[in-house]
Structure 1
Amino acid sequence: MSFAKPEGAAVESDVVVVGAGPGGSSTATYLARHGLSVTLLEKSHFPREKVCGDGLTPRATRALTRIGIDTSESNGWLHNKGLRVYGGRTEPFELPWPDLTDFPPYGLVRPRSDFDDMLARHAVAAGADLIEGANVDAAVLDDRTGRITGVTTKDGRTFKAPIVVAADGNSSRLAVSMGINKRSDRPMGVAVRTYYTSPRTNDDYLESWLELWDGERGKSNLMPGYGWVFGMGDGTSNVGLGVLNTSKGFGQTDYRALLKRWVDHTPEEWGFRDQNMVGKIQGAALPMAFNRQPHYGRGLVLVGDAGGMVNPFNGEGIAYAMEAAEYAAMAIAEASSRGFGSASAEKAMRAYPEQMKASLGGYYRLGTIFVKLIGDPRIMHLCTRYGLPRKTLMRFVLKLLANLTDSHGGDAMDRIINALCKAAPSA
């Protein structure tokens, strides 16, 4: 949806949201439901591709349900019931998603090209104005206060609002333009993926490889990172790997070659070979553990990858971007009711970064310790060799890595994980 404006006039709204990925579109949806006028800017045109594993845990499933998305299989979603883990032996381990009060017992698979388009249209249905082909290149600042009052696009348009949401991804030109840079003391990952036509396309488990061998298991080199295989249900499988900056050689590694070295030694019948590849091998950065802060300041709100909200334990970003969107919209709506720009409204806006730290800060701090440990393939090998065969331990690890615990009550595992997160200093 787009609309015309008089030549040279600025479009004004209560909030401008830059970037119509899951974080941006969700923020726009929640804001529109709060009764605010929202302009949602997307630099490309839908449908458009994004580098992603396309697999969603029950945490993301809950976020979609909260925003009103029908996640039924009849609505085009592929359901999965757990995680299949390779590591420590030839045969994999299958770990069902935990049975919890706070989260549903299933995850999802859906291509990002379709997923993002659906969320953007959902925002439009809620009342947001979506403008595609709006490539934001600069912030408009108040000369006196340094506060952001809008944005401009490369084609010369101006969009003004008292609050601007930067949901413009890892590079977040908006945040950088206002002096909010990445923190070097936070982990960063790189993910590469491609698609193969494969008989493994129908699979009710997400699949994770905690050991990447460049030949026969146990008789070749153990490579850095972790791999995944997610059946897409359309004749293809999404196959990829992630590497952390705590791994040796990060930044000097040819990740596409690394992916090919791994899949070339998977069983021939799976079809993960060049002749079956659909599209190119593509990569993307994974900004983790709040690597860009503050999440609010001088009228600018950071949501999703722009605020480094990827889970360092498992590389998941969509669930946390959508959760942040809900928190951000609540704070913005409260600030609006107090009068944007007033001292009271600024207090209301501070609730957003405080909420993010309260809900995820301790958990992400634990994640930064975790990635330092598994950055050494030898440690990962020891963990998979001695940890995976112990079912009780692995159920605990699955809950920790996927951040799936009941916040109230729950079992002993939930209480231990929740206590650890509360005890850890915020990231």
Structure 2
Amino acid sequence: MTDEADVIVVGAGPGGSTTAYHLAQHGLRVLLLEKTEFPREKVCGDGLTPRAVKQIVKLGIDTSPEAGWLRNKGLRVIGGGVRLELDWPELASFPDYGLVRTRLDFDDMLAKQAVKAGAVLHTKANVTAPVLDGTGRAVGVVAEIDGEAKEFRAPLTIAADGVSGRFPLAMGLAKREDRPIGVAVRRYYRSPLRHEDDYLESWLELRSREAGDNLLPGYGWIFGMGDGRVNVGLGVLNSSAAFGKTNYRRLLTDWLGSTPPDWGMTDEANADGPILGAALPMGFNRVPHYTRGVLLVGDSGGMVNPFNGEGIAYAMESGELAAEVAVQALARPAGPARERALAAYPAELKARYGGYYRLGNIFVKLIGNPQIMKIATRHGMPHPTLMRFVLKLLANLTDPRGGDAMDRVINAMTRVAPAV
């Protein structure tokens, strides 16, 4: 059995649905294949920065509190004995608020926007392999639907199948081991005291009361969901000596054991669901982002920000860019002219993020050293102006043209850094 489309998008997470939405908006025939059903649980991404908010607004989604979104003003940072609230910067390029929304219905909402724009969505469609022509170029995919292998054909395929990257792997694109990767675990707790909060909360130091107030590896977060629950989690980077050698779930409960009892996170009876974990592929850890008829979007191409572990914004941004490039490429005849257009995708990704991710990769190596992290926390946290600079750098929130002195310094740093 065969179906024809202009573009096949593999995976209906934020990156895939955003890609499909923009492609359909331009009038292309889009097939969006998702291996699970909606709504479905995902580990990371409930807390959205202004970068992600901008993309959500572009999809025509109402982000008002009346539509069920919980807004936040910025980031509360805790470390070095200091508690500092940093508002999101006021910029022309990005809104000055973040959002919270459970992934359980966030991904469903984005997929519905893609369908509304004209994309055809198939759920429970597990893509198992590319269809290759005689030159090794992908000209379609094979997907298992209701136990039946079905072939779909299209001149372009966009892989947005997440950290597993099964489709890129089938195309021979393995992960790069020299790029950073993180592991995150999170759990929901019922917490009437903390479930509504104006700030996302980041803990730079994690301590265990059971282990004599010892410092634990990694960094943590707590933020309210607005529905009586909080999202609590932690991440560990592969630059840490503890990476791959730690029971991350035990690490989370050890840290939460040191939080105030009235927050509700020390009592197992308040837990809402299991502790779940996921990998965070960072700093372009799978390349090339275009090859033989396939473009990689989001986690599939290792686009998580090494500075802060944010992936949704970059999945959606790369999806929008992939759609723009695909529209221009498919307006040209197959062959050299089309390939020149498609080559713009990895080139533009490198121009946008290459220098910034290079700095992020260096940052990951530095903070993997506990002594460096301790010195940075102790000496940086007491200085609000410095921390506002750090927030802009870590969240990648600057105005590219104009802006204040901080913007100009950060933009200059990313321009002079060699691209990854």
The TM-score with structure 2 as length reference comes to 0.97
Deviation, 1:63, is: 1.2
Partners of 2:375 and 2:110 lie apart in 1 by 41
Matched with 1:239 is 232
For the 8 Å contact 1:231–1:238, the answer to whether it is kept is yes
Aligned with 1:396: secondary structure? helix
Q: Deviating runs (4+, > 6 A) in structure 1?
A: none
- Over the aligned positions, Cα root-mean-square deviation in angstroms equals 1.1
- Paired-residue identity, %: 63
2:167 aligned residue (174, 190, 193): 174
| Aligned length in residues | 415
For the 8 Å contact 2:210–2:254, the answer to whether it is kept is no
My pick for the range that moved more, 372-381 or 264-273, is 372-381
- Where in structure 2 are there 5+ consecutive unaligned residues? none
Matched with 2:136 is 146
Are residue 68 (structure 1) and residue 68 (structure 2) matched?
no
2:391 maps to amino acid:
L
Aligned in 2, Cα 1:14/1:53: closer, same or farther, shift over 3 Å? closer
Partners of 2:72 and 2:308 lie apart in 1 by 17
2:242 aligned residue (225, 249, 266): 249
Are residue 291 (structure 1) and residue 281 (structure 2) matched?
no
Aligned with 1:122: secondary structure? helix
2:316 aligned residue (317, 322, 336): 322
Matched with 1:132 is 123
Deviation, 1:53, is: 4.3
Partners of 2:45 and 2:233 lie apart in 1 by 7
Partners of 1:54 and 1:141 lie apart in 2 by 37
Partners of 1:301 and 1:214 lie apart in 2 by 44
Are residue 276 (structure 1) and residue 267 (structure 2) matched?
no
2:108 maps to amino acid:
D
Are residue 215 (structure 1) and residue 205 (structure 2) matched?
no
Are residue 416 (structure 1) and residue 409 (structure 2) matched?
yes
Partners of 2:209 and 2:400 lie apart in 1 by 43
2:230 maps to amino acid:
S
Are residue 346 (structure 1) and residue 339 (structure 2) matched?
yes
Are residue 161 (structure 1) and residue 145 (structure 2) matched?
no
Aligned with 1:362: secondary structure? helix
Matched with 1:119 is 110
Aligned with 2:400: secondary structure? coil
Matched with 1:191 is 184
Matched with 1:390 is 383
Aligned in 2, Cα 1:53/1:187: closer, same or farther, shift over 3 Å? same
- Where in structure 1 are there 5+ consecutive unaligned residues? 1-8
Partners of 1:170 and 1:108 lie apart in 2 by 23
Partners of 1:377 and 1:262 lie apart in 2 by 17
Matched with 1:21 is 13
Matched with 1:380 is 373
Deviation, 1:28, is: 0.2
1:353-368 paired onto structure 2 within 5 Å: 353-368=346-361
Deviation, 1:67, is: 2.3
2:413 maps to amino acid:
L
The TM-score with structure 1 as length reference comes to 0.96
Aligned in 2, Cα 1:271/1:53: closer, same or farther, shift over 3 Å? farther
2:296 aligned residue (302, 310, 329): 302
Are residue 37 (structure 1) and residue 45 (structure 2) matched?
no
For the 8 Å contact 2:180–2:361, the answer to whether it is kept is yes
For the 8 Å contact 1:27–1:322, the answer to whether it is kept is yes
Partners of 2:340 and 2:20 lie apart in 1 by 22
Aligned with 1:201: secondary structure? coil
For the 8 Å contact 1:149–1:161, the answer to whether it is kept is yes
Matched with 1:56 is 48
Partners of 1:270 and 1:28 lie apart in 2 by 41
Deviation, 1:262, is: 0.3
Partners of 1:70 and 1:319 lie apart in 2 by 17
Deviation, 1:249, is: 2.4
1:32 maps to amino acid:
A
For the 8 Å contact 1:53–1:238, the answer to whether it is kept is no
2:365 maps to amino acid:
K
Partners of 2:67 and 2:16 lie apart in 1 by 23
Deviation, 1:380, is: 1.5
